[in-house]
Amino acid sequence: MPNLFNKTKYFNRSEAGFSLVEMMVSVTVFLIIMSAIYGLLRIGLITRDTLNKSSETSKNARSSINAVGKDVINAGLGFSRVGGVVPDDFVSELLDTPKDTGSERDILTAIIAGNDIRESDLSKNGQKNDVIAFAFRDLSFNNGNSIVVTDAPISSILNNSIVLKTNSGECSVCNPYDLYLIESKEGKQAVVMATAIPDSSTMVLGRNDPLALNQPVVDGSNKRSILIPCLLGNTSDCFTYSAGVTAKKIYWVSFNVEADGTLVRTTYGNNTGGTASQQIQKQPLAYGVQNFQVRYLMQDGTISDDPSNKNKTPLKMNEVVQVEISITIRTDGNDAGVTNTELINVTSTFSTRNLKYDIQ
In a domain, 19, yes or no: no
Question: What pLDDT digit, counting tens, does each position of 273-287 carry?
Answer: 999 999 999 999 999
The fraction of the chain above a pLDDT of 90, given in percent, is 62
In a domain, 342, yes or no: yes
pLDDT at 184: 93
In a domain, 12, yes or no: no
Question: What pLDDT digit, counting tens, does each position of 199-228 carry?
Answer: 999 999 998 899 999 999 988 778 899 999
Query: Any idea which of 47-61, 91-105, 271-285, 291-305 has the lowest mean pLDDT?
Result: 47-61
pLDDT score of 339 more than 80: no
Domain that holds residue 109: 53-351
User: When comparing pLDDT for 121 and 357, which is higher?
Assistant: 121
In a domain, 114, yes or no: yes
pLDDT score of 170 more than 70: yes
pLDDT score of 7 more than 70: no
The domain total for the chain is 1
pLDDT at 24: 81
Q: What is the mean pLDDT of the chain?
A: 87
Question: What pLDDT digit, counting tens, does each position of 61-108 carry?
Answer: 889 999 999 999 999 999 988 899 999 999 999 999 998 888 889 999
pLDDT score of 176 more than 60: yes
In a domain, 281, yes or no: yes
Query: What's the per-residue H, E or C state across the chain?
Result: CCCCCCCCCCCCHHHCCCCHHHHHHHHHHHHHHHHHHHHHHHHHHHHHHHHHHHHHHHHHHHHHHHHHHHHHHHCCCCCCCCCEEECCCHHHHHHCCCCCCCCCCEEECCEEEEEEEECCCCCCCCCCEEEEEEEEECCCHHHHCCEEEEECCHHHCECCEEEEEECCCHHHHCCCCCEEEEEECCCCEEEEECCECCCCCEEEECCCCCCCCCCCCCCCCCCCCCCCECCCCCCCCCECHHHCEEEEEEEEEEEEECCCCCEEEEEECCCCCCCHHHCEEEEEEECCEEEEEEEEEECCCCEECCCCCCCCCHHHHHHEEEEEEEEEEEEEEEECCEEEEEEEEEEEEEECCCCCCCCC
